[in-house]
Structure 1
Amino acid sequence: MPRRSFLPLAVLALLAGCGTGTAASPSAAPSPTQDNAHMIQAATADCMKTKGFRYVPYVYQPKISEQDMKPFDYAEEKASRSKRGLGVFSSYVHPDKSLDDDADPNTAIINDLSPAQLGAYKKARENCDVQAIRQVTGKNVKSSGDWAGQASETLQRLWKRELDGDPTLVELASAMADCLSGKGYRVTATNPVALNEWALKTVQSDLQRSHKTMSSKGDVFRPITISPDEARRYLNKEIKLALDDLECGKRFYPAFLPRSRELEQRVNDEFGI
């Protein structure tokens, strides 16, 4: 499927680490000294033990897979988009059964806690996460949310400087935007980073407009639930948009994606995501 930015997903997966589960698969269990992500998890487990809680080190994978790092293949991408679009509504038509919410071993541990224990656990986990992140990365973070925000801001700065500031990518993005406009699409931003995200954000906006995701106060996330039959009504539109986006971006994506992935990986490694 289209290879987009995965850092926000990785961040959400780790922020959901209090046992809510996530649509990601676990990594193998290499030595905790192998990278910052495993070192953070090992440090969190040690900290939780001192607070009287059992915690199993667990790193969500992949953030950026080997497939994502492969050269852009137009024919392969077209075949994928012809079937799945950008993977938004198709995920409701054909749910991936391999994504098990109980893959995280800590889910079972949390489910056995009483309400009072759970409150203490969540407080301890947040404190331990912050302590571990500071210890391993040297980042001055105040919370898991602050850690996620700093990682995202770092990536955005790198994208703006190294991708949006590249004359070749700017020229390719402008040509892609002209092509999309010629097909009747409304493109409001033509910088490279925005063009890479345009199609996915457009489909996600369709999903959010038709299915309320927030409470009236805007502070509670509610997962969207759509029946396969309902999702099929949107999927054909998504597929057409995805193919038009690919056709217009057939020169842009091969130039943009490898560099974008390298920057994402750099930030993931730095922050231990």
Structure 2
Amino acid sequence: MRKRSLLALAALVVLTGCGDTSASARPSQTPKQDNKQRIEAVKADCMKGKGFRYTPFVREKILLGPDLEKAGTGDYAAMKAHRSKWGFNVFSNLVYRKELEADNQSGGADPNVMTKKDLSSAQQKAYSKALAACQAQAIKQITGKSVKSQQDWFEQADKLLAQRRTRELDGDAHLVELASAMADCMTGKGYQPAAKNPTSMESWGQLTFMREMHELARKEGGRDIPPYTSAGPFYQPTHLADADARRYLAKEVKMALDDLECGKDFYAAYLPKSGEVAQAAQAEFGIDPD
């Protein structure tokens, strides 16, 4: 079984109508969006003071093709092309795993992994402890945010993003109207969206299949995996047969395309604004948006 954070998946939700942030949907560069680089520089100085070498590392942005950029703005044709293969970006993680792994390598390798690997076992433990302390110090210095750990850092960013999405997206009267019309359309196709507010309509399809995938992982891992909650994390099965993964993906693709047909107008209005909200919240914490 593999665990995946919801924050990582949230990056996918804004770009393709199930949570991804495209370059086209990003706001103009601001000082806060340089926080990641600044945090890395402070971490390096802090580690040097503790007697360790640390190279500031920010993974290069993976350049999106023009079609994927269009999908991030709610372009119908681009979204349809993407969803026809990837669905809501859930079971496609299993079916197209090798393709995704190749893409993930394009951001470059973190040189600090080898730096730590060259240390003795005792030194590695000291390195990890020092790095955790330096990261917390850097985040506090650059962003003013007090975090206890890497997990706490992401959880706080998640909380801020959820608050802003509720206020700025669910509070938008035009988006509320479009989301309600989309929900009615999906109900007419035999689906049962949990709620009609904009953020729920954006994510309900993806969450439906995340829940299904999580339950498959629970069957593998038993009591080691907690029940699924939308607050995450969720787990991926590691022993699902390829044929079964493709069967689940086919079901996901069909629903994703129905969702797009009903939400054509909704996504065109929602995705650009959602991308800006996500980008700003993550940048405030110095977290890479991708």
Q: TM-score, normalised by structure 1?
A: 0.80
* Alpha-carbon separation, structure 2, partners of 1:215 and 1:115: 32
Residue equivalent to 2:256: 242
* Alpha-carbon separation, structure 1, partners of 2:71 and 2:279: 10
Residue equivalent to 1:74: 76
Greater relative contact order, per chain length (Cα 8 Å cut-off, separation 6+) = 2
Contact 2:157 2:285 (C-alpha < 8 Å) held by counterparts: yes
* Alpha-carbon separation, structure 1, partners of 2:63 and 2:168: 19
Q: Which has the higher helix share?
A: 2
Identify the range of structure 1 (216-225 vs 85-94) with the bigger mean alpha-carbon deviation.
216-225
Report how far residue 215 of structure 1 moved: 6.8
Amino acid at match of 1:76: A
Report how far residue 68 of structure 1 moved: 7.1
Residue equivalent to 2:215: 209
* Alpha-carbon separation, structure 2, partners of 1:69 and 1:76: 5
Q: TM-score, normalised by structure 2?
A: 0.75
Which aligned pairs between 1:92-171 and structure 2 lie closer than 5 A?
92-95=94-97, 96=99, 97-100=102-105, 103-171=109-177
Distance 1:207 1:171, change over 3 A: same
Distance 1:43 1:263, change over 3 A: same
* Alpha-carbon separation, structure 2, partners of 1:68 and 1:272: 26
Report how far residue 147 of structure 1 moved: 2.4
Unaligned residue ranges in structure 1 (runs of 5+): 1-5, 13-31
Identify the range of structure 1 (167-176 vs 49-58) with the bigger mean alpha-carbon deviation.
49-58
Contact 1:102 1:108 (C-alpha < 8 Å) held by counterparts: no
Cα deviations across residues 200-235 of structure 1 (Å, max 9, x unaligned)? 111111111112386735589866424433311211
* Alpha-carbon separation, structure 2, partners of 1:78 and 1:127: 45
Unaligned residue ranges in structure 2 (runs of 5+): 12-30, 227-232
Distance 1:144 1:93, change over 3 A: closer
* Alpha-carbon separation, structure 1, partners of 2:246 and 2:259: 20
* Alpha-carbon separation, structure 2, partners of 1:34 and 1:159: 19
* Alpha-carbon separation, structure 1, partners of 2:246 and 2:9: 28
Amino acid at match of 2:81: A
Q: Considering only aligned residues, what root-mean-square deviation do their CA atoms show, in Å?
A: 3.1
Report how far residue 118 of structure 1 moved: 2.2
Residue equivalent to 1:38: 37
SS in 2 for 1:190: coil
Identify the range of structure 1 (97-106 vs 258-267) with the bigger mean alpha-carbon deviation.
97-106
Report how far residue 69 of structure 1 moved: 8.6
Contact 1:53 1:121 (C-alpha < 8 Å) held by counterparts: yes
Residue equivalent to 2:273: 259
* Alpha-carbon separation, structure 1, partners of 2:255 and 2:137: 45
